[in-house]
Amino acid sequence: MFEEVMTLFSNKLDLIVRSANSHLKKSEKGIQLCNNTISQLQHLVEQEDFENTGEEINFFKNIKPFPMSYLIYFTEIRTCELSIPKVGKTHKIRYLEKEVKKVNKFFARNNDFVHYMEQDYGYLDHQFFCRNYRNNFPFTPTINYYQYPEFTTSHDMLWAKIQALYRFIHYLRERLQELEPGNDYLYQEKRPTVLVWSGSKTALVELVYALYASQDINHGTADIKTLVAAFEDFFNIRLDNFYKTYSEIKARKKDRTKYLATLMLKLEERIYRDDQ
């Protein structure tokens, strides 16, 4: 019963993210969209509720946190854009680096739950994502974006915030890069320096979109722009106009996923040779 609402949300969200508007304008439009979507979901739950515990867990673990996480994400961006110093590059960088520290502290405080979700465990889902267990856990994170008692479990808001901050990290990184190209404040660990993509850019875009469609990165919370940026860094390449490239891939008369088909064929050939 939520499919139509979520499909419409995803389509409108994509238009907002892909628009050429400023960060502030995108966040304001995004907040409005998220609030409207969450209100629709709440109305549906009040009308229909759930037939069983499995449906309730799925809703509070996989459905509601999607627009909720974007609400938190856009709210964080809006706050950042309004609060960042207006003058002085050094002051702006210092402010953004403080925001990074806040994100790191949040993940450190919630490390156990983050690990539980990242490992795709499910043995505590009935406690984390059912409303009957809401009072069994302290509501530790300070989240005041949107909350109604009968529309909240003990951990669905926390899960939404975790997903939101995954995205917010990339926003902070982009802002730091704008102010100081080469700023590696968010990447203190070792990064690959010798890996270069030697195939075509179109092939790489096809690969990135396949991973985006699979929703196997960050539990499906990473948007396409974030994934493209990650691959650009990893392979030392620029994928300019990747939206246009994707449109060209879709417009192919046949073999629209020809690079993925080639990959599959080459892997099968390699497995065959290794078995000989």
Query: pLDDT, tens digit, for every residue of 72-86?
Result: 999 999 999 999 999
Among 2-6, 79-83, 138-142, which is the least confidently predicted range? Answer: 138-142
With 0-12 / 13-18 / 19 or more C-beta atoms within 10 angstroms meaning exposed / middle / buried, residue 162 is buried
Residue environment code for 241-263, b if the CB has 16+ CB neighbours within 10 A, otherwise e: ebeebbeebeeeeeeeeebeeee
C-alpha to C-alpha distance for 61 and 130, rounded to whole angstroms: 9
Is residue 145 over pLDDT 70? no
Q: Residue range 112-120: average pLDDT?
A: 85
DSSP state, residue 181: T
pLDDT band with cut points at 50, 70 and 90 for residue 148: low
Q: Is the pLDDT confidence value at 246 over 50?
A: yes
pTM over 0.75: no
Q: Which of 11-25, 53-67, 94-108, 173-187 has the lowest mean pLDDT?
A: 173-187
Higher per-residue confidence, 138 vs 161: 161
What is the pLDDT, as a whole number, of residue 158? 92
pLDDT digits (tens, 9 = 90+) for 179-212: 877 655 555 444 444 577 888 899 999 999 999 9
| C-beta neighbour count of 108 within 10 angstroms | 9
pLDDT tens string 212-225: 998 888 767 778 88
- Provide, rounded to the nearest whole percent, the portion of the chain with pLDDT above 70: 88
Q: What is the pLDDT of residue 26?
A: 95
The confidence score (pLDDT) of residue 184 equals 57
